[in-house]
Amino acid sequence: MVHGLVTSPLRPLVAVTGGAGFIGSHTVDLLVASGCRVVVLDDFSTGKRANLARWADRERFGFGGSEPSVEVLTVDISHGLFSALAPITAQYGRVERIVHLAAQVSVIHSIANPMTDERINYGGTLQVLEYARASAVRKVVMASSAAVYGDVSEFPVDEQAVCHPVSPYGMHKLASEHALHYYSQVHHVPTTALRFFNVYGPRQDPSSPYSGVISIFADRANAGRDLTIFGDGEQTRDFVYVGDVVRAVVGAVLTDGADRALMNIGTGSEITVKELAQTIVELTGGKSTIRHAEARAGEILRSVARVERAERLLGWKSQIGLRDGLAQTLRG
Ligand code: NAD
Ligand code: UD1
């Protein structure tokens, strides 16, 4: 017996895989604010209950009335979604829409452990799509990545560029995009793939060497510790604030349009990792020293998005500039 989700056909029931993670928990917040009921599926490998703390007293206990609520299921999606979701759908009706974010997220980790990404990232996507097909889900939105492009030579990079991923992570994200296309075309499951560029903001976990660079630099600079740049620091990234990203995710999952679409979610601006480090040191009062270590193998050297397609298809564009986003991130 599950508790907690208000039974209401007027409020879409949205499943969020990876909903306890960085982008996932911000997505849950915006979905609830948009009037949805949310069921999170997460194995807590990198996600945290603390990220959903604001919904904790509402989880598992009915609070009736018109309050929205969140149900959290501990599940490894690579084993399938059917048995985990069965008690929820028996009580509250079908899952109408799915945001699929659960993944192993580190490019560098995937190079050392390519089979993990095959099982979780590609296999997990197939499990989500099989559930969607069998349950007549109205929309599946998946987090793809700028890493699908890999070795491209024209910038800003366009969605029509031929992809040559240079990591297992990028390969399995690209394979997952193909799976979305196949399920849409053959099984009529409406799907949208969003190619996130480098997402940053509060709740990004800095604790692993594989963590996102801004979370690591912000954490270390706030403590006055050294920052390490891999390589000469001339590599660029397009950093997009998490609050902007989740507006695109929620917009894409709640619309019945943009089927079989894939689009970049970035700002259209790039910055070198060296300039990024200098900016963060400056914003934190200049206490940290910047050091260099050997460049990481398998990394892309340049990354910046062409952004017009998301604006055309979803009416979305980023709003938060990097300095403002960094200031919010540094405040935590
Ligand atoms: P995150 O690590 O905070 O979130 C991933 C979540 O998935 C975590 O909560 C984790 O516990 C969960 N998870 C992992 N394996 C699982 C499994 N087998 N079953 C169930 N849950 C599982 O990372 P994030 O940055 O929030 O990434 C979210 C999504 O966005 C990922 O698909 C990632 O590849 C994609 N993405 C992120 C970025 C970025 O810059 N952060 C950029 C491009 C794409
Ligand atoms: C990131 C995401 C990945 C996403 C991709 C989209 C994470 C962990 N990775 O990969 O999920 O699909 O963006 O573009 O969120 N760096 C340093 N010092 C550090 C850490 C990193 O110099 O301490 C450098 C790296 O060498 C790299 C850059 O910063 O050049 C960005 O690294 P990272 O944050 O790990 O992201 P990506 O590999 O771009």
* pLDDT tens, position by position, 91-109: 889 999 999 999 999 999 9
Q: Give the residue ranges of the chain where pLDDT is below 70.
A: 1-10, 57-68
* Residues flanking ligand 2, CB < 6 Å: 105-107, 145-147, 196-198, 210-213, 216, 228-230, 235, 237, 273, 296, 299, 303
The CATH number assigned to the domain holding 158 equals 3.40.50.720
**Hey, is 16 helix, strand or coil?**
strand
Would you list the DSSP string of 35-51? T-EEEEEE--SS--GGG
Q: Report CA(100)–ligand 1 centroid distance (Å).
A: 9
Within a domain: residue 299? Answer: no
Handedness of CA 24, 28, 34, 36 (dihedral sign): positive
Within a domain: residue 283? Answer: no
SS3 content of the chain, % helix, strand, coil (to 5): 40, 20, 40
The whole-number pLDDT of residue 115 equals 95
Which listed ligand is nearest to 103 at the C-alpha? 1
Q: Report CA(78)–ligand 2 centroid distance (Å).
A: 25
Write down the residue that tokens 């990079």 correspond to.
Answer: 157
Ligand 2 atom with least separation from CA of 238: 14
Q: Exposed/middle/buried for 60, CB within 10 Å: 0-12, 13-18, 19+?
A: middle
Give the CA dihedral 48, 39, 245, 298, nearest 10 degrees.
60
Other CB atoms within 10 A of residue 230 CB: 15
Ligand 1 close to Cβ of residue 322 (< 6 A): no
Closest to 231 measured CA to CA, from 295, 187, 324, 291: 295
Which listed ligand is nearest to 141 at the C-alpha? 1
Fill in the DSSP letter of residue 266: S
Question: For residue 98, what are its two tokens?
Answer: 């799915």
Pairwise CA distance, residues 10 & 120, whole Å: 33
Name the domain count of the chain: 1
Q: Which residue, judged by its Cα, is nearest atom 13 of ligand 1? A: 102
Within a domain: residue 209? Answer: no
Active site residues: 169
Other CB atoms within 10 A of residue 113 CB: 15
Pairwise CA distance, residues 225 & 219, whole Å: 9
Within a domain: residue 291? Answer: no
Write down the residue that tokens 């019945």 correspond to.
Answer: 256
Q: Which spans in the chain are helix H?
A: 22-33, 82-92, 107-112, 114-117, 123-134, 168-187, 213-222, 242-254, 273-283, 308-314, 322-331
Which listed ligand is nearest to 117 at the C-alpha? 1
Q: Report CA(46)–ligand 1 centroid distance (Å).
A: 8
Q: Which residue, judged by its Cα, is nearest atom 17 of ligand 1? A: 76
Within a domain: residue 148? Answer: yes
The whole-number pLDDT of residue 55 equals 84
Q: Report CA(231)–ligand 2 centroid distance (Å).
A: 13
Q: Report CA(209)–ligand 2 centroid distance (Å).
A: 10
Q: Report CA(107)–ligand 2 centroid distance (Å).
A: 7
Within a domain: residue 100? Answer: yes
Domain region containing 135:
13-197+240-266+304-318
The whole-number pLDDT of residue 73 equals 94
Q: Which residue, judged by its Cα, is nearest atom 29 of ligand 2? A: 213
The whole-number pLDDT of residue 207 equals 95
Which listed ligand is nearest to 107 at the C-alpha? 2
Amino acid at 62: G
Within a domain: residue 31? Answer: yes
- Interhelix angle 322-331/213-222, rounded to 10 degrees, is 60
Q: Which residue, judged by its Cα, is nearest atom 13 of ligand 2? A: 198
Ligand 2 atom with least separation from CA of 214: 34
Within a domain: residue 141? Answer: yes
Ligand 1 close to Cβ of residue 202 (< 6 A): no
